[in-house]
């Protein structure tokens, strides 16, 4: 991309159009004038297996194809697409689902198949349809309240600035280069996560360098390790919510109010929350402080995090307090993270699956001596630091892509 960047320059001359100011040599076009929606349909029949793409297979706001299904698993009428067609989610377009598969297949009828006409770059169109203005137009032309959707007769009127073909291709090439870098970073993160998963399996059950093992209800563990329960090494306290939930008097500028969304978007440490409680709200909840370990026990079950702020937790979390001197906080965190799927499977049925403190407390933990706990935690922490570095790089690249789209697709920056 370095050579491409050297050819970029700021545009100086613009003309006014219904789509805003655009370069003098650009035009405003409508989607329906430069592309078509194919009418080809697919009726599932036994033995005719084709790649299948539903909305669930498309990433939200990324332009990524997460996975594919097969047409043998569907029973209703589907749309046929060719390699290079653009698939745009028309159901709930606020989810920003668009992808350009490099293969042919069939897709859900909740997805529009858009095929650019000759003389227009498919890749440029793909990035154009990832833009904020495209999604805003789709949302604005959607009908229905519970399941809003747009349609081709409406969406085809989306108007946008368009350069000549050569510049379309250059813009798409630059954005594609950034996408490639994002994908490589994402692959590195996945590789590091797989490494961490394997290390946790080994380090938290067999340690490092041990040759003698003993049988236990949790499987073979080193002879000098103990098998205890979480209830033996900590007090497990459930959070609480001020009632009635949602009353404005309970919210203010006090301690953070931890919700599962705050935890899932964080990594190892919880440093911010979207909401804060008032002093009255704090009195009806359970306070947590810097260094405390909490874990979700409702809906999204078994996700631990180390608190790095003054906050409060509701009854969808438990706090591990008064830890025994026989266990390190960071070792406990990694053990809980390793057992996340196991604990999620222990969820009790109800309106939302949940755990109680008894189930958590009865969970067995193979416990090495403190010196070994420290070494194990240091290794896993080093992997976490690498993952965090890769995540930061991915976020920077995503911001770069967004910024480039804003200036390249409007002609503010020319090639």
Short-list 307, 306, 313, 253, CA closest to 277: 253
Tell me if 168 sits within 8 A of 124, measured CB to CB.
yes
Give me the residues paired with residue 35 across strands.
Answer: 116
| Burial 318-354, CB ≥16 within 10 A → b, else e | bbbeebeeebeebbbbbbbbbbbeebbebbeeeeebb
Tell me if 14 sits within 8 A of 22, measured CB to CB.
yes
Residue 123: its pLDDT value, please? 97
Distance CA 217, CA 113 (A): 55
Is the bond preceding residue 244 a cis peptide, omega within 30 degrees?
yes
Distance CA 242, CA 35 (A): 55
DSSP conformational letter for 117:
P
In the chain, what are the domains? 1-19+164-223+369-415 (1.10.287.1120), 27-162 (3.90.220.20), 226-367 (3.90.220.20)
Q: SS3 breakdown of the chain: % helix, strand, coil, rounded to 5?
A: 40, 25, 35
Residue 4: its pLDDT value, please? 53
Distances (CA, A) of 334 to 295, 378, 391: 12, 11, 19
User: What angle (nearest 5°) sits at the alpha carbon of residue 265, between those of residues 388 and 95?
Assistant: 120
Distance CA 221, CA 366 (A): 7
User: What is the chain's pLDDT, residue by residue, as a tens digit (415 residues)?
Assistant: 555 555 778 878 999 998 899 999 999 999 999 999 999 999 998 889 999 999 999 999 999 999 999 999 999 999 999 999 999 999 999 999 999 999 999 999 999 999 999 999 999 999 999 999 999 999 999 999 889 999 999 999 999 999 999 999 999 999 999 999 999 999 999 999 999 999 999 999 999 999 999 999 989 999 999 999 999 999 999 999 998 888 999 999 999 999 999 999 888 999 999 999 999 999 999 999 999 999 999 988 999 999 999 999 999 999 999 999 999 999 999 999 999 999 999 887 766 778 899 999 999 999 999 999 999 999 999 999 999 999 999 999 999 999 999 999 999 999 8
In terms of Cβ atoms closer than 10 Å to its own Cβ (0-12, 13-18, 19+), residue 86 is buried
DSSP conformational letter for 149:
B
pTM here is: 0.83
Edge-to-edge strands of the sheet including 41-42?
41-42, 78-81, 105-107, 51-53, 69-70
Structure tokens that stand for 27 in this block: 């035009």
Distance CA 174, CA 178 (A): 7
**CA dihedral (56, 110, 108, 63) positive or negative:** negative
């Amino acid at each position: 991309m370095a050579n491409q960047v050297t050819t970029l320059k700021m545009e100086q001359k613009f003309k006014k159009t219904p789509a805003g100011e655009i370069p003098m040599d650009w035009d405003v076009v409508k989607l329906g004038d430069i592309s078509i929606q194919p009418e080809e349909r697919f009726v599932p029949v036994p033995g005719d297996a084709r790649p299948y793409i539903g909305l669930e297979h498309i990433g939200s706001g990324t332009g990524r194809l997460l996975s594919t299904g097969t047409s043998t698993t569907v029973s209703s009428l589907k749309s046929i697409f060719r390699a290079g067609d653009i698939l745009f989610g028309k159901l709930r377009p606020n989810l920003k689902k668009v992808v350009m598969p490099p293969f042919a297949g069939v897709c859900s009828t909740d997805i529009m198949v858009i095929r650019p006409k000759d003389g227009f770059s498919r890749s440029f169109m793909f990035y154009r349809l990832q833009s904020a203005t495209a999604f805003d137009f789709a949302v604005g032309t959607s009908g229905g309240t519970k399941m809003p959707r747009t349609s081709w007769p409406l969406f085809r009127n989306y108007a946008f600035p368009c350069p000549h073909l050569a510049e379309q291709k250059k813009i798409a090439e630059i954005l594609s280069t950034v996408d490639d870098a994002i994908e490589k970073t994402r692959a590195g993160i996945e590789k590091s996560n797989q490494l961490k998963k394997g290390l946790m399996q080994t380090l938290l059950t067999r340690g490092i360098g041990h040759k003698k093992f003993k049988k236990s209800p949790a499987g073979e563990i080193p002879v000098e390790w103990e098998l205890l329960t979480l209830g033996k090494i900590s007090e497990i306290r459930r959070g609480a919510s001020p009632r009635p939930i949602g009353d404005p008097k309970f919210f203010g500028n006090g301690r953070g109010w931890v919700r599962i969304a705050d935890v899932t978007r964080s990594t190892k440490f919880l440093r911010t929350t979207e909401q804060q409680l008032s002093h009255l709200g704090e009195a009806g909840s359970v306070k947590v402080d810097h260094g405390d370990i909490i874990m979700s026990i409702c809906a999204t079950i078994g996700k631990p995090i180390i608190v790095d702020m003054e906050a409060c937790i509701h009854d969808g979390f438990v706090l591990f307090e008064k830890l025994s001197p026989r266990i390190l906080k960071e070792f406990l965190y990694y053990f809980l993270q390793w057992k996340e799927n196991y604990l999620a499977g222990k969820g009790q049925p109800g309106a939302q699956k949940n755990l109680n403190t008894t189930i958590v407390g009865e969970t067995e933990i193979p416990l090495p001596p403190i010196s070994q706990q420290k070494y194990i935690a240091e290794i896993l922490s080093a992997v976490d630091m690498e993952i965090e570095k890769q995540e930061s790089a991915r976020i920077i690249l995503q911001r770069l892509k967004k910024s480039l789209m804003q200036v390249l697709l409007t002609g503010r920056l020319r090639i």
